[in-house]
Amino acid sequence: MKKFLVVLFCLVLVIGLAACGDNSSSSSSDDSTSTTWPTDGPASMVPAPDFGTIDKVKIDYDYPTINMSDVTRDNYDDYNAALKADDSLVIYQEKDDMIIFHNQKEKFYCTTMYYGDSKTMQVLFGEMD
């Protein structure tokens, strides 16, 4: 049941983020966004991509969502290969354009999503129960 709720939460989050797009009337303040890979929290525990452009990093409750552009499918696949090689991460769910990794020790998840039409990638982190 817990796995189902995590998957459901991720899908709702993805749909919500996709529907919002670049909404300039968002309630987030300028202080909570940046364009650099976070150096603390769960994002610091996975490798930062060495490709593409980081367009936006939004941090909510210490868990970032990172939006990137200029990302090829090969970039996305290579990045996921690097995450799969990390012994601290376990694949929870894998689909063509989305992989959810869990870090049981640090109690966070990392989801990578690829949008081929726009050549963008999103990496989001969240807290595990």
Indicate whether 110 belongs to any domain.
yes
Query: Do the domain assignments include residue 16?
Result: no
User: What is the distance of C-alpha 50 from the center of its chain?
Assistant: 15
Is 11 domain-assigned?
no
Task: Give the integer Cα–Cα distance in Å for 114 and 121.
Answer: 5
pTM, rounded to two decimals: 0.74
Low-confidence ranges of the chain (pLDDT < 50): 21-31
State the CATH number of the domain containing residue 58: 3.30.160
Task: Using CA atoms of 46, 17, 4, 88 in order, give the dihedral in degrees to the nearest 10.
Answer: 0
What local confidence, expressed as pLDDT, does residue 54 receive? 97
pLDDT value at residue 14? 53
Count how many domains the chain has: 1
Residue 29: what pLDDT? 40
Give the range of the structural domain holding residue 83, as residue numbers without chain letter: 31-127
Which pLDDT score is estimated for 20? 52
